[in-house]
Amino acid sequence: MSQIHPTAIISPEAAIDDGVTIGPYAVIEGEVKIGKGTVVEHHASIGCREGIVEIGENNRFLPSCAVGGIPQDLTYKGEKTKLVIGDNNTIREFVTINIGTQKEEGVTKIGNHNLLMAYSHIAHDCRLGHHNVVANSNQFAGHVHMGDRIVIGGGCLINQFTKIGDGAYVTGGSSVNKDVPPFTIVQGDYAVMRACNKIGLQRAGLSSDEVSNIYKAIRILIKGKNTIEESIENIKKECQPSENINYLIDFIRSSERGLAF
């Protein structure tokens, strides 16, 4: 059975699975679905009158987070949009996550096994993958797309419509206004690529040969005065073909905002 504190306020539209814990003075508003094993701590707020929030299993929402509120977007006029959160995520104190807008499928989406630390903001239509760590006081503008196994240091500003590739590391205090290629470390205001994230690759369990292969590709991309296409051709010539190398090349070619050089 679920454990719901008598002071919690639960919308009649909410669907709460068995095994959910909801603490004192928590508020669940509107169409909210919460999967089993999820814990909503005291004073947390989930949902809104306008939107739909779907939450998977074994998540934890810490006190005073505000999840599933309306977008901070002047074009939003109360449309029925969504926030979808997967499994095994931790949403820390004072984190805010907004539902989507109709500009991009109407969904803000958080994957599985993510840690969002205190005071971070995830705006409308953002997409976060899996196994990411977002440190304290990060500010994501709308439509940011973020892959898997990414670390964002504290106090970063992420521009709208930017993409951050798998395995990247954004150092604390950086401002990101261009796409961050996979497996790179970026730093600065505005952030630029500094190195390959070798430690992140090793922690992800890649073989030493593949880490070296990706390291070579990132060096080719960062060093020298070649054009993007010339760098891609050099990566194809000098690096062993692999799923990760193909992903890196595809990411570079698909960038619309330009890369963080």
Closest CA to 249 of 210, 207, 220: 220
pLDDT in tens, 165-222: 999 999 999 999 999 999 999 999 999 999 999 999 999 999 999 999 999 999 999 9
Q: What is the structure's pLDDT at 251?
A: 98
- Selected catalytic residue, list 51, 125, 130, 200: 125
Q: What is the structure's pLDDT at 37?
A: 98
Q: Do domains 3-143 and 202-254 have the same CATH topology?
A: no
Q: What is the CATH number of domain 3-143?
A: 2.160.10.10
Q: What is the structure's pLDDT at 1?
A: 76
125 labelled catalytic = yes
Closest CA to 205 of 165, 149, 248: 149
Q: What is the structure's pLDDT at 51?
A: 96
124 labelled catalytic = yes
Architecture per CATH, 202-254: Up-down Bundle (1.20)
- Selected catalytic residue, list 30, 68, 124, 129: 124
Please report the DSSP string for 14-83 in residue order: -EE-TT-EE-TT-EE-SEEEE-TT-EE-TT-EE--SS-EEEE-SS-EE-TT-EEEEPPS-TT--S---EE
Where do the structural domains in the chain lie, given as residue ranges? 3-143, 202-254
Is the separation of the CB atoms in 191 and 180 below 8 Å?
yes
Residues of the chain predicted below pLDDT 70: none
Spatial distance between the Cα atoms of 126 and 132, rounded to a whole number of angstroms: 14
Q: What is the structure's pLDDT at 215?
A: 98
142 labelled catalytic = yes
| Cβ neighbours around 180 below 10 Å, total | 29
Q: What is the structure's pLDDT at 44?
A: 98
